Structure 1
Amino acid sequence: MTHNARNSQQVVLVTGAGSGIGRAVSLSLARAGHQVYASMREIRQKNRERAEALLELARAEGLSLDIVELDVLSEVCCQAAVNQILARHGRVDVVVNNAGMLMTGITEAFSIEQVARIIDTNALSWLRVNRAVLPAMRRQGGGLLMYVGSTTARLHEPFLGPYIASKVAGDAIAEIMAMELRPVGIESVILVPGAFTSGTEHFAHSNAPEYFAIEQQYGDLPDRISGLADQLSAIDAANGGALDVSAVGQAAVDVLAIPRGQRPFRVVIDGQRKGTDAIDAIYHEKQAAFLRQMGLEDLILPAPSSAV
């Protein structure tokens, strides 16, 4: 490795790296020369085969990629994973908050416990992971918090009520923390993927509503859910074909290649081209104007961008 490569190498922690987007981001960043810690829970039990397969691929390609155990629902686990990385490197430069889950169905039919669980997993976990890493980033004088959001946080859809509520909550936590962290030199970027009908286990492992008796009261409306994947595939085809999850990984690589202080706050990666980037542009304009009126212009976030 050259001197310049060592200087540009970032120490990166990725959550939810066992499959899908998290795995793609981990591999893309490692292939770009970064030191990646791909994290997942239960690496000696449930996710043992995933962890071993990822390590074997990393060895075969000569990548700087290691596995670390991290359960985003446990503050102790989050801190322990970060401490493990700090013990080896003395720093952590980037955290990619990716771990998440999906629920699909009629919103009324989900239990309160189900909704609380997905908000915990998809939103509150970001706070846990950030709280574990931010003291080190402040000592370093900088760092990057990266998040995997969703276009559904801007354009809501039926049948995804708890999921979208969790992504909206996570988006708000990420955005407000981004403003609060700007004065100490810690940057934030939200990667905003559209729907990926393949390459992830989101749809295959989607949780159904607990109260089937309530769902039955909606007649044949729930039956329309099963056809949505085909509709998405048709939209992808009309826009030049479906994106692979590696597109999100490449977006992460591109963000890290941008000099500090010049990175956009949002990067949309949407094969369906739903237009959330246009909404983001207007939102940013209005938010910036209001912050100026409040005398908080130094907290204005960078303008959004679009990778696809």
Structure 2
Amino acid sequence: MATRPLVTLVTGASSGFGALSVRALAKSGNIVYAGFLQPNNDKTTVYKDAATFAEKNSCQLRGIELNVVKEDSIKKAVNQIMADQGRIDVVVHNAGHMNYGPAESFTPEQFLEMYEVNCLSCHRINRVVLPHMRKAGRGLLVWVSSGSAHGPSSPFMAPYFAAKAAQDSLAQTYAVELTQFGIETSIVVPGVFTRGTSHFTTAMKPGDPAVEKEYLEGPLKGWDRINLEGHDKVVSPDADPAAVAEAVRRIVDTEHGKRPFRVHVEFDGGGATIVNGVRDLVRKTFLTSLGLADLLKVKVR
């Protein structure tokens, strides 16, 4: 554990991996801000739940309103954290949204929405947070990626998979550009989780139902159901999403300069671990051949 509590902002913290991560991080002794899309009013329970958890566990967990696709919301949240704490040590890019349906049945606007939430939001937040981290000379970005980015993928989730692949690629580039400022990057790669999250139940539906019908009442009739059932079959019954939160917690609590670049949390055969092992080796070899090997190592001051 670090010598002082780390001020940590987690996006998309109202459910799933995010909700589990903020609790794990707070219990570990960090000062945690849980980014909630919902406004803080009497009708919103997530803020009360966070406050209750903090009181019961004698830890520092605070809800903060954060819409990751709205720059004014991001600036307001970051300014509030800076006013409270004077620093932001860690950002966990967790906010995400899934879809389910044939690729062609999603409109271009829906694809853009997927990129906004799953990829571009990370860049928006970085542009507000990184000036503070660069000034401090240290920091940590944790990106919650997906095994589908470079590993196993299936039909009916094309917008999500494409956006997550873009996010993972963005994280890799940011990583080498930030090391000399003392800012580390860790990418967490969850595999398939069909229980304990709301990913599938809240998934975006196709915006063009006529095209969807041509697929799912035509040659692909029944295959969407087989796909969902197949996901359940390939995932181990031990696939607890809390394992992703624990991976995030371990990364944050690791000593600065010694954090892993990528951590996989898979209960579905480990395909992403295999693919990313090769991919990351190629990345390292190529950057070294360019004379950029030193950019792979974070500068510790």
Give the superposed CA RMSD: 1.8
* CA-CA distance at 1:271 after TM superposition: 1.1
Aligned equivalent of 1:271: 267
CA offset at residue 46 of structure 1?
Answer: 10
Mapped partners of 1:220, 1:207: distance in 2: 22
CA shift for structure 1 position 175 = 1.0
Q: Secondary structure at the match of 2:38?
A: coil
Q: Does 1:149 align with 2:145?
A: yes
- Assess if the C-alpha contact under 8 Å between 2:9 and 2:32 holds in 1: yes
* Cross-structure match for 2:185: 188
For the pair 1:112 / 2:111, whether they are aligned, the reply is no
**2:287 is aligned with what amino acid?**
L
Quick check: 1:38 aligned with 2:56? Answer: no
Unaligned 5+ runs, structure 1 = 303-308
1:214 corresponds in structure 2 to 211
8 Å contact 2:2–2:253 — kept in the other structure? no
| C-alpha deviation, 1:37, in angstroms | 0.3
In the aligned structure 1, how far is the partner of 2:234 from the partner of 2:74? 38
Instruction: Return the alpha-carbon distance in structure 1 between the equivalents of residues 124 and 174 of structure 2.
Output: 13
1:138 paired to 2:134: yes
Q: CA deviation at 1:157?
A: 2.0
Deviations 1:115-173 (A, max 9, x none): 00010110000001111110110111100001111000012321110000110111111
2-structure distance, mates of 1:86, 1:286: 39
Q: What is the aligned partner in structure 2 of residue 197 from structure 1?
A: 194
Match of 2:8 among 4, 12, 15: 12
Higher RCO (Cα < 8 Å, 6 or more apart)? 2
In 2, the alpha carbon distance for the partners of 1:127 and 1:234 equals 36
Q: Within 2, Cα distance between the matches of 1:245 and 1:24?
A: 8
Aligned with 1:8: secondary structure? coil
Aligned equivalent of 1:235: 234
Query: Do the aligned partners of 1:137 and 1:186 also contact (CA within 8 Å) in 2?
Result: yes
Question: What is the CA distance between 1:266 and its match in structure 2?
Answer: 0.9
Which is further off, 249-258 or 129-138? 249-258
Would you say the 8 A contact 1:100–1:121 is kept in 2? yes
- Percent same amino acid among aligned pairs? 36
Name the count of aligned residue pairs: 295
Q: Does residue 77 in structure 1 map to residue 76 in structure 2?
A: no
- 1:19-38 Cα offsets, whole Å, 9 max, x none, are 11100000000011111000
Q: CA deviation at 1:47?
A: 7.5
What TM-score comes out, normalization by structure 2 length? 0.93
What amino acid is the match of 2:139? G
Distance 2:163 2:62 in 1: 29
TM-score scaled by length of structure 1: 0.91
Equivalent residues of 1:198, 1:244 under 8 A apart: yes
1:98 aligns to 2:94 (yes or no):
yes
Distance 1:70 1:276, change over 3 A: same
Inter-CA distance 263–147: structure 2 relative to 1 (3 Å threshold): same
SS across alignment from 1:145: strand
Paired residue for 1:250, among 246, 251, 265? 246
Q: Could you say which residue in structure 2 is the equivalent of 1:305?
A: none
Q: Which moved more, 1:168-177 or 1:279-288?
A: 279-288
Deviates more, 1:28-37 or 1:219-228: 219-228
